[in-house]
Structure 1
Amino acid sequence: MFDNIVDILCSIKDDQPELRQSLSPQTDLNNDIGLDSLQMIQFMLKVEDQLNVVIDYDQFDYEHLRSIDAFITFLISCQPQAQPVYEDVKQ
């Protein structure tokens, strides 16, 4: 899951090609990476989509962004996404 998070972060911060080498499980998602508010929303949406989880924002806390490891631990506690309704629609 760490590699997936790194891939997502690098796709959002594509103006920083050196980012991948600097990321570790202890990297602070707020202070070390510097996602602005729009990038943070993009990050969360991509995480939900690509990792097939539903982030429970009632349980989500700033502490979960203290490290990539802390974020992964939080994600493991999240429920998998149900299949989107529109997949059932025949065209």
Structure 2
Amino acid sequence: MYDKIVDILCAIKEDQPELRHSLSPSTDLNNDIGLDSLQMIQFMLKVEEQLNVAIDYDQFDYEHLESIEAFISFLKSCQSQAQPQYEDVQQ
């Protein structure tokens, strides 16, 4: 999962080819990478799409962006939730 997140970040920040070499599990997604608001939205959408996970934005908090490792832990908690994304939709 870490490698996929790094790939997504590098694709979004394609103007910074040196970024890949500076990333580690402790990299702060806000302060170290410097995603603007549009890039952050792109990042979250790509994570959901490419990792096949529905991010629970009700549970999401700024602290989950303090490191790639913290973000991965949050994503794992989202994956373990077995409830449908849209509860009001009849199947």
Q: So what's the TM-score if we normalise by structure 2? A: 0.87
Identical-pair percentage: 83
Q: Where does residue 65 of structure 1 map in the other structure?
A: 65
Q: Where does residue 15 of structure 1 map in the other structure?
A: 15
Task: Give unmatched runs, 5+ long, in structure 1.
Answer: 83-91
Structure 1 stretches of 4+ with a deviation exceeding 6 A read none
Aligned counterparts, 1:23-42, within 5 A: 23-42=23-42
Which structure has greater strand proportion?
Answer: 1
Shift of 1:2: 0.4
Aligned length: 82
Deviation track 1:37-60 (CA, whole Å, cap 9, x = no partner) reads 000000000000000000000000
Q: So what's the TM-score if we normalise by structure 1? A: 0.87
Task: Give unmatched runs, 5+ long, in structure 2.
Answer: 85-91
Structure 2 Cα separation of the partners of residues 36 and 78 of structure 1: 24
AA paired with 2:25?
P
